[in-house]
Structure 1
């Protein structure tokens, strides 16, 4: 196959002349042979002969009508994003890719000219460019709420960690890497092929090694494979032994997700792109920006208890909070059925406090749910518990557990008009995927017995969930943010990398 460069000129690249296109074809060949020598064959010249073109080696002719990179053909069904969508990614392949990247990074060129791209002022400038580029679709593809939070997170992180960025410059951890390491550029060939590094900009290609690897890690999460994200990073850092990893990963994953959101957002505005593709790009952009927002929560942890009567939208809110913060979600309805050995979606409707809803089993369910939440917090990940918590005693038991581990705790007491509750309950009774067994009669019993939190419970946010779920989630997040505490990190002292090979 042959890859030809379009005669375009943008702020970040210039392919406007034939000689520039030849130069960057040669750069593409040189740079990509570092990771995929079996894919990148040579630079060729296209010479017109009548109505056709003759293809020869670029060095074989004095001039040409165009230049191209000759490459091995790579089938789409071996591309990593395709494999992720079809659930066909092997764990050993992910480990192999991690090893290839780690060894590539250890050999990658470094030095003062490259290290300068990792300076705090360079990072600030890059972020400012991205923020300027996304202004056009702020409020449309990324909410002002989320975008403001991302900007605050970036500003604070760069300020608080300036010394780490400067230390990593001097340690040689800013290197001439790949720069565009997402799933579309990885192929499950033998050996794996990692292609399409940035050839047109040393500034965009040269970066902190964590930034390079964060791109692919972010993509694993985008495709819903947190397990592969974890395996990939563990395998990579077992080789690299970079102790700054936990601190820097959320920042750089946020950056990579934000950039991908920007790219898709710009595509959604291109008039020469078919409407269906523009619509798809806009939806992908929204998901990328949401992921970038979620990474601002990754360095933080707390416990959130989403409580209230059945039908008030607790699980809808809890699921959305889990998606937007990355906190672990523990749902009493599912844990209760797990305890008795049932599938979560197995119907178990019965009269009030009968069947699997006896007081004893409810107590066991709450103990298990709250224990899992506290364990998650201790291991560095925030937790969301999703249950009615109708009795003061149940809330106080969670408070006691949270206090033992110094976990910030926020109860969210969900309420909404009864007509809304009735409509929601009637709708979910018809849904075979629904986990909850509560019906209207259960709701009436709960309403009669509930112990509504009073003014002596200051850790409670009272929330009207008749508003759009996203608005409710943002309200909870704004209340939670000042309470959340940092995730403990490893020592910031990192071993020296060996010098790059000649």
Structure 2
């Protein structure tokens, strides 16, 4: 089939599908929108990265797209159907009937384009709830994937794709410094990439996980349009997928939500070590978007995306910050930590979550009395703080700001994290969250009734904490933050504190 014949077929199919059918063309496909359905025809192309030159090849690609996208969007991806008849008088056949097929198409269910996350972001309607849900969705998707075959995910492949961006963008856009940064950053992360590949962190992910490929359906963010035509672009470290979301939130002017997403993604799936790769992969993804803009001859968009890459590269700091939020149960330290990570551009480590992860429990699981005895024993507390220190060290080495959310009622627990920061050349700040005892007790009771938080602290635990707490001494330099206020006021106090910390 020639390109002209494809155009004839697409036009005739549009007429056959009925009045009101809309046609959308991409560089590799023609999409026909008719009623509740969308029909995707591949163009008869052979390019360096794909081959749609024969009907058999186009059928295989339709089937691959169906397989891949049913993993995340089964409600959207319906079936592969033959196109039967003639170029001038085609008809859409039924699945499984290949007789007389002249071409193949993928049938999908249509959705409201205004519910795309990119559109929500553009009109200021993308908020924390959607981002938190997306973090859970992506983390759970990645967790369910098997490791890729050994042929995929060599560190040298990662470098090759990164270098391809710079080659495609050329030498006229002032990229020499950013190119040097990418080369140095790859040297730093190459051993970790190899280790993660050996650990099974290279998986067949989405490959093109930006906000225009995610839609809200029934209140749930649904990724779709995974890359089907080039397996090398989707068999990658899972952080390459997560970094695309992070970068695109930043690209839409939402850096605070980008940090919230990255932190929530790691908290859900436990892949904090992977966050050490975040700056490299996010810069790579920004330059992918710059390359796409350049191919469209949109120099303004290309320059914007290169600017995003530079901003993200600058987020990797020579002297990062380790911020420890401490306080009694119910003092609001987790809320404060979440506010501060967004304001400062940081990643949160939460003791309640990591303690349960060490015990093989989900964050919101309620331990049995027998489990609780072991979970909150002194030995598990030591393991938990050792884990927090190890993860914080990994992130600090990567030049990333870290917020540790832990009660840290004993001075030696706080001093250990202070020493860790010093060992990694990082700044250390201590924030003490405080509220009256009556407020603490009311919050604990409400939290227990809701049953949605990782903390298991009850009134008895608070009583014990009040007896054993070692209040930060003057020489610890703690910054006190009063959380006895409505959420908006607490958020303003956190913003003011973050501004103060950033100015120091």
Residue in structure 2 matched with residue 91 of structure 1 by the alignment = 128
Does 1:184 pair with 2:212? yes
Q: Per-residue deviation at 1:182?
A: 0.5
Distance 2:210 2:312 in 1: 17
Matches within 5 A, 1:206-221: 206-221=235-250
- Which deviates more from structure 2 when the two are superposed, residues 125-134 or residues 63-72? 125-134
Distance 2:87 2:63 in 1: 27
Distance 1:294 1:243 in 2: 22
Q: What secondary structure sits across from 1:207 in the alignment?
A: strand
Residue in structure 1 matched with residue 187 of structure 2 by the alignment = 159
Contact 2:186 2:280 in 1 (8 A): no
- Which deviates more from structure 2 when the two are superposed, residues 161-170 or residues 18-27? 161-170
Q: What secondary structure sits across from 2:226 in the alignment?
A: coil
Q: Per-residue deviation at 1:61?
A: 2.7
Does 1:285 pair with 2:322? no
Matches within 5 A, 1:371-382: none
Return the structure number with greater relative CO, CA threshold 8 A, min gap 6.
1
Instruction: Output one character per residue of 1:163-194: Cα deviation in whole Å (capped at 9) or x when no partner.
Output: 11111011111100000000110001124321
Instruction: Output one character per residue of 1:359-392: Cα deviation in whole Å (capped at 9) or x when no partner.
Output: xxxxxxxxxxxxxxxxxxxx9669xxxxxxxxxx
Distance 1:406 1:124 in 2: 28
Distance 1:407 1:244 in 2: 18
Matches within 5 A, 1:308-327: none
Instruction: Output one character per residue of 1:109-137: Cα deviation in whole Å (capped at 9) or x when no partner.
Output: 31443xx43222111221232222111xx
Check 1:96–1:292 CA distance in 2 against 1; reply closer, same or farther (3 A cut): same
Does 1:129 pair with 2:164? yes
Q: Per-residue deviation at 1:242?
A: 1.4
Q: Per-residue deviation at 1:227?
A: 2.5
Contact 2:189 2:277 in 1 (8 A): no
Q: Per-residue deviation at 1:301?
A: 4.3
Contact 1:80 1:183 in 2 (8 A): yes
Distance 1:8 1:90 in 2: 40
Does 1:47 pair with 2:80? no
Does 1:9 pair with 2:9? no
Matches within 5 A, 1:108-119: 108-113=145-150, 116-119=151-154
Q: Per-residue deviation at 1:96?
A: 1.4
Q: Per-residue deviation at 1:243?
A: 2.7
Provide structure 2 residue ranges, at least 5 long, that are not aligned to the other structure. Answer: 1-37, 321-341, 346-398, 403-423, 428-504
Q: Per-residue deviation at 1:288?
A: 0.6
Normalising by structure 2, we get a TM-score of: 0.55
Distance 1:55 1:204 in 2: 31
Distance 1:233 1:66 in 2: 42
Residue in structure 1 matched with residue 74 of structure 2 by the alignment = 37
Check 1:158–1:327 CA distance in 2 against 1; reply closer, same or farther (3 A cut): farther
Does 1:105 pair with 2:142? yes
Contact 2:319 2:425 in 1 (8 A): no
Does 1:227 pair with 2:244? no
Distance 2:318 2:187 in 1: 21
Residue in structure 2 matched with residue 68 of structure 1 by the alignment = 105
Normalising by structure 1, we get a TM-score of: 0.55
Instruction: Output one character per residue of 1:63-87: Cα deviation in whole Å (capped at 9) or x when no partner.
Output: 3122111001022111111110001
Distance 1:206 1:69 in 2: 23
Check 1:132–1:290 CA distance in 2 against 1; reply closer, same or farther (3 A cut): same
Which of 274, 278, 297 is 2:314 aligned to?
A: 297
Residue in structure 2 matched with residue 343 of structure 1 by the alignment = none
Distance 2:67 2:81 in 1: 14
Distance 2:236 2:288 in 1: 15
Q: Per-residue deviation at 1:222?
A: 0.6
Check 1:175–1:87 CA distance in 2 against 1; reply closer, same or farther (3 A cut): same
Contact 2:208 2:227 in 1 (8 A): yes
Residue in structure 2 matched with residue 203 of structure 1 by the alignment = 232
Residue in structure 2 matched with residue 19 of structure 1 by the alignment = 56
Does 1:267 pair with 2:296? yes
Q: How large is the RMSD of aligned CA atoms in angstroms?
A: 2.7
Distance 1:188 1:104 in 2: 16
Distance 1:297 1:245 in 2: 19
Distance 1:103 1:164 in 2: 22
Contact 1:175 1:209 in 2 (8 A): yes
Check 1:72–1:156 CA distance in 2 against 1; reply closer, same or farther (3 A cut): same
Q: Per-residue deviation at 1:159?
A: 1.7
Q: Per-residue deviation at 1:407?
A: 8.6
Q: Per-residue deviation at 1:328?
A: 7.3
Matches within 5 A, 1:420-431: none
Q: Per-residue deviation at 1:264?
A: 0.8
Distance 1:252 1:179 in 2: 12
Q: What secondary structure sits across from 2:249 in the alignment?
A: helix
Contact 1:5 1:21 in 2 (8 A): yes
Residue in structure 1 matched with residue 282 of structure 2 by the alignment = 253
Distance 2:192 2:400 in 1: 21
Contact 2:256 2:343 in 1 (8 A): no
Contact 2:83 2:101 in 1 (8 A): yes
Q: What secondary structure sits across from 1:57 in the alignment?
A: coil
Q: What secondary structure sits across from 2:152 in the alignment?
A: helix
Distance 1:224 1:108 in 2: 31
